[in-house]
Amino acid sequence: MNRTSRALILIALIILVAPPLVRAQATLQTVPDPVFVGAGDIARCDLPDDELTALLLDNIEGTVFTAGDNAYLSGTLKDYQQCYEPSWGRHRARTRPAPGNHEYVSLNAAPYFAYYGENAGPKGRGYYSFNLGSWHIISLNSNIAADANSAQVQWLAADLASNPAACTLAYWHHPLFSSGPHGDDPMMKTVWDVLYQASADVVIVGHDHDYERFAQQTPDGVADPGRGIREFVVGTGGAPLTGFNPIPDANSEVRESATWGVLKLTLHPTSFDWQFIPIAGQTFTDSGSGTCV
């Protein structure tokens, strides 16, 4: 075989082999950053709004979260099967939940753990963690002990120490900060202390049936744009909405109590984008970006 023939064969091989490699590289380069989307205070059989927020999820890919009070009124298996299942239930396979106080109307929230199975973490505990892209995500339980000596907080400290991610998000039900009628719940203060010391970035909660976004702040409610945690209250999954107290909490940046919807977070390697998406027929929205601490 002469030199020309070998060159022609080599060119032919390059033509045959290169396109798949180029396509593979292009695919790797265009994989979108993960999405984390959801709300709290969701499904009631006698109201239609959880059906409307579920329609939003139908068109948003990614991991779904719940911020508690997922199935009213008592978190029974019947509530989950008849109220939650027809709406948000169709996204159960991709949902990572957190429990609320209505789940604990049922003894030990047993129906909650039975319904979500492994997606709710270890049975009966109500707190767990996982990674989503480069982010470390922590689901906590604000219905059980959360003081410094509690099993939950000791687990949280160990989990953060063993997962030193650039970006960290935690979510649960009862807010430490809220301008809504339930107001601030101090039981999760120690959790905030631990998260703040670990340079966590975002906290998502529910309980008050409204949407509220806070500026970065310390666990003591002092504005801290350099390294504070940004909290979102997203109790807009479908339960009846409520108003706000006459005087809002310090560092409250945006408040809305007349719109159901979901919060969509796009999780980049060292930053995130947020967008509140309203149900069909409503217009309020909120969006922005943040850099991880």
At residue 31, the pLDDT reads 84
Binned at pLDDT 50, 70 and 90, residue 6 comes out as low
Residue-wise pLDDT tens digits, 121-153: 999 999 999 999 999 999 999 999 999 999 999
**What does the alpha-carbon distance between residue 217 and residue 202 come to, in Å, rounded to a whole number?**
11
CB of 213 within 8 A of CB of 232? yes
Inter-residue contact 190 to 220 (CB < 8 Å): no
- SS3 call for 90: helix
> Is 203:216 a contact under the CB 8 Å cutoff?
no
The pTM (predicted TM-score) of the whole model is 0.90
Which pLDDT value is given to residue 24? 46
The predicted model gives 69-86 an average pLDDT of 98
Q: What sign has the CA pseudo-torsion 241, 247, 250, 256? A: positive
Contact 128, 166 (CB under 8 A): no
What pLDDT shows up at residue 29? 59
Three-point CA angle 205, 211, 215, nearest 5°: 75
- CA torsion 108-113-119-120 (nearest 10°) is -10
**Could you give the domains of the chain?**
1-31 (no CATH), 33-291 (3.60.21.10)
Per-residue three-class SS string for 47-83: CCHHHHHHHHHHCCCCEEEECCCCECCCCCHHHHHHH
* Closest CA relative to residue 89, chosen from 66, 106, 108: 66
Instruction: Read off the pLDDT of residues 280-290 as tens digits, 9 standing for 90 and up.
Output: 999 999 999 99
